[in-house]
Amino acid sequence: MDQTDVIRKAREYFLRQDNLYGCAETTFMALKEAYGLPNPADSSAAMALNGGVAYFGGLCGAITGAALAVGMLAERRLPAHKDAKRVARLIIAEYMDEFKATYLDVDCRALIGLDIRQEEQHQRFLESGIWRTRCMAQIEFAIQRLFDLRHPHTWQETIERIQS
């Protein structure tokens, strides 16, 4: 499975008319599949993270979903939990810096300009199509930036770079 396949899969999850999967779930599932992690179609760990955690408007779901997947990958690649946790944090911190440089913020409410906890604004969000364009682009950004971690040599190069 190459990056194009993973993005196609993410689009299938996210762009469904029934809005079954949010940003966090989609990013989590797509990266789990890219990384060869168990149960890639299980989005349950990310369910409450959509919309900036429970639609609260905090950290973007494309970031939180990615953080879950990278954490799972780190735990499998590094035998010591403490090392895995440190490396996962550093990788996600670097990704967040890139995300913020690209999108000017990391919080869902600032990124979409709506408080989707309010039913009227949530409906406006769905009808506007922002989720199909802006949110989908942020999911694709996560996949593009983190996809190569699936390769052991890229993983090792990343660790060496962020630890220096």
Domain containing 110 equals 3-163
Is 0.85 surpassed by the pTM of this model? yes
CA distance 10 to 143: 9
Could you give the number of structural domains in the chain? 1
Q: Which amino acid is at 58?
A: G
Q: Is the pLDDT of residue 26 over 90?
A: yes
* Averaged pLDDT, 28-32: 98
The 10s digit of each residue's pLDDT in 77-103 is 999 999 999 999 999 999 999 999 999
Structure tokens at 44: 């349950």
- Alpha carbon separation from 46 to 28, 49, 83, 129, 157 (Å, rounded): 7, 5, 23, 22, 28
The answer to whether residues 63 and 106 touch, using CB atoms and an 8 Å cutoff, is yes
